[in-house]
């Protein structure tokens, strides 16, 4: 791949063509490197729970029979690590799928998407209050399942990174020809230097906290990919120790019908 097509000293068209080819080659090389990095990261992330699983299995085999405490602890830990692998694999598949999936864009009611996402994420509030402020006449052009998925990711994160007693607010606003959907929390916030990296695959500010709450470091990269399939954008404003606000920008499909 590292071969380059020599630029001929000839007619301008040929020169242009070869430089276009070289640019394409460069892009392919970059893509290839990214894929390689992704596979390395994914393998590493999968190996961690697998190692823990095997460690517990060994312990169980050696000492589990005559020690009920070890038996219980190892089983619980294996259960957790198994779940973690399951979540990781389904998110990896999700990420791979959303790379080329088609979005079926229709007129979607934002309040309905939010309501569904709230039902999915807020059955157990963990002592965190949730308020919704959404005008029922707001519509966007989008794929209802994918938009719900993005909203679920943002709500789950708001819950994971906010301590008991905190609050989360979700709201939507019509702004000209686009709609902004925001999830605001009074949680732990994100250090300024980490903000540009949190949408990267597997990036986590605090691995221990993410791990404890069942995080994989893939949620925001999936959300970003899905939003981009809608030709939209996602951004975040955050103050460490105070909270964060994630905003998704989507194309409006008129306010009422």
Q: How far is CA 247 from CA 77, 80, 126, 169, 250, in A?
A: 36, 32, 23, 12, 10
Range in contact with ligand ADP (rule: CB under 6 A) among 4-12, 31-39, 118-126, 210-218: 210-218
Would you count residue 232 as binding ligand ADP (CB under 6 A)?
Answer: no
**Which of 49, 187 has the CB closer to ligand ADP?**
187
Long-range CB pairs of 78-81 (<8 Å, 24+ gap) are 78/53, 81/49, 81/50, 81/52, 81/53, 81/56
Would you count residue 157 as binding ligand ADP (CB under 6 A)?
Answer: yes
**Which of 188, 226 has the CB closer to ligand ADP?**
188
Pairing of strands 233-239, 178-185: unpaired
Q: How far is CA 189 from CA 99, 109, 134, 135, 161, in A?
A: 29, 30, 24, 27, 8
Question: For ligand ADP, which residue of 121, 210, 225, 252 counts as binding (CB under 6 A)?
Answer: 210
The residues, ordered by sequence, that sit 6+ positions from 38 with a Cβ below 8 Å of its Cβ are 201
Would you count residue 145 as binding ligand ADP (CB under 6 A)?
Answer: no
**Which of 98, 157 has the CB closer to ligand ADP?**
157
Would you count residue 188 as binding ligand ADP (CB under 6 A)?
Answer: yes
Would you count residue 147 as binding ligand ADP (CB under 6 A)?
Answer: no
Would you count residue 226 as binding ligand ADP (CB under 6 A)?
Answer: no
Q: Which residues bind ligand ADP (CB under 6 A)?
A: 157-158, 160-161, 185, 187-190, 198, 203-206, 210, 215-221, 244
């Amino acid at each position: 791949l590292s071969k380059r097509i020599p630029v001929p000293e000839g007619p301008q068209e040929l020169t242009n063509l070869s430089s276009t080819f070289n640019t394409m080659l460069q892009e392919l090389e970059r893509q290839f490197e990214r894929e390689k990095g992704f596979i390395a990261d994914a393998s590493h992330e999968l190996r961690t729970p697998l190692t823990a699983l095997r460690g517990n299995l060994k312990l169980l085999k050696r000492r589990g029979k005559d020690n009920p405490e070890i038996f219980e602890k190892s089983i619980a830990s294996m259960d957790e690590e198994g779940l973690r692998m399951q979540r990781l694999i389904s998110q990896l598949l999700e990420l791979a799928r959303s790379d080329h999936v088609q979005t079926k864009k229709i007129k979607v009611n934002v309040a309905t998407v939010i309501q569904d996402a709230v039902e999915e994420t807020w059955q157990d509030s963990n002592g965190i209050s949730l308020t919704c402020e959404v005008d029922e006449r707001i519509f966007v052009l989008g794929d209802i399942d994918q938009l719900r998925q993005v909203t679920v990711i943002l709500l789950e994160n708001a819950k994971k990174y906010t301590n008991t007693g905190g609050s989360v607010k979700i709201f939507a606003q019509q702004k000209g020809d686009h709609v902004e959907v925001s999830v605001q929390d009074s949680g732990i916030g994100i250090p300024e230097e980490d903000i540009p990296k949190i949408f990267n695959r597997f990036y986590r500010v605090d691995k221990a906290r993410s791990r404890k709450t069942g995080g994989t470091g893939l949620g925001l990269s999936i959300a970003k990919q899905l939003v981009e399939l809608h030709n939209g954008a996602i951004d975040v404003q955050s103050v460490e120790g105070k909270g964060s606000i994630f905003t998704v920008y989507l194309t409006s499909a008129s306010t009422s019908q």
